[in-house]
Amino acid sequence: MLLNRAKIEFYLTDLETPIGKAINLTIASLVLLSSGIFVAETYNISRDARLEVRALDTCILIIFTIEYALRLWSSENKLKYIFSFYSIIDLMAILPSLIGFVDIRFIRLLRWFRILRLLRFIDSKFLFGTISNEDGVIFTRILFTLFAIIFVYSGLIYQVEHPVNPQNFGTFLDAFYFSVVTMTTVGFGDLTPISELGRLLTVLMILTGVALIPWQVGDLIKRLVKTANQVENVCSSCGLGFHDADAEYCKRCGTKLPVKSLQP
């Protein structure tokens, strides 16, 4: 039992072995598929198509629920896991559907946080293993983080405004457009929320845009300045492509670098 528990915990967090990669790639794909289903449901699709996508979403929900239960069961410190960041994101991803029979608006809103489950892989080689340039990794991480936050805000503002303001927030694309122009503080004013909760979300979008975008761009600039004196020298072990000119060992995995890294 202990061995099985340890194996399950290992494979659910492992991103190196074939089994671990397959499990986590499947989870990431299901997160993207589930997010696509939510977007599709905001459009005027046929009744049969709507039933099919809902059935598919139910299957995904069952898989996510089993995954959460396995992570909780295999965790050594269950209390620590329950209150961890990723566990809270996982729980928010399944909670709205599990208690969907309760007509509570804020519970239904939580389903848009499902895209944030992809943040589990953002600091690993799982998504960025093929990018050898560290600047490219940072840039990709910034773009993904911004997209995930905009996606969540778009889902929230759509869920809030569509029932009371369908002429302006008819589809997810309308909400996505509004989120982008709001978070970038462009504010064209052609779409305006009318509910109190919608206006509150708009304020949060503006504050998030003002705080997040300059911080992320600043992080990228600092990284560019830091790596200005680096040279291309691909590590034979992990594939990292750029290191300091005088580096003898890879800063990621510690493997000895080719002698050319020592040349002027």
Using one digit for the tens of pLDDT, what is the confidence trace for 244-253? 777 888 877 8
Backbone torsion region of residue 182, taken as left when φ is above 0, otherwise alpha when ψ lies between -120 and 50, otherwise beta: alpha
Question: How far is Cα 146 from Cα 219, in angstroms, rounded to an integer?
Answer: 13
Whats the size of the chain, residue-wise?
Answer: 264
Question: Is 33 found in the same domain as 11?
Answer: yes
pTM, 2 dp:
0.71
Considering only CA atoms, which of 73, 118, 113, 121 is closest in space to residue 97?
A: 113
Question: Is 191 found in the same domain as 225?
Answer: yes
Question: Is 115 found in the same domain as 220?
Answer: no
Question: Is 3 found in the same domain as 98?
Answer: yes
Question: Is 140 found in the same domain as 106?
Answer: no
> Which segments of the chain have a pLDDT < 70?
1-3, 96-109, 121-138, 220, 222-230, 259-264
Question: Is 135 found in the same domain as 52?
Answer: no
In contact, 59 and 142? CB cutoff 8 Å: no
Cα Dmax for the chain = 68
Question: Is 105 found in the same domain as 29?
Answer: yes
Domain ranges, residue 259: 233-263
Residue that terminates a domain, selected from 124, 151, 182: 124
pLDDT one-digit tens code per residue, 143-201: 787 888 889 899 989 989 998 999 999 999 999 999 999 988 777 778 889 999 899 99
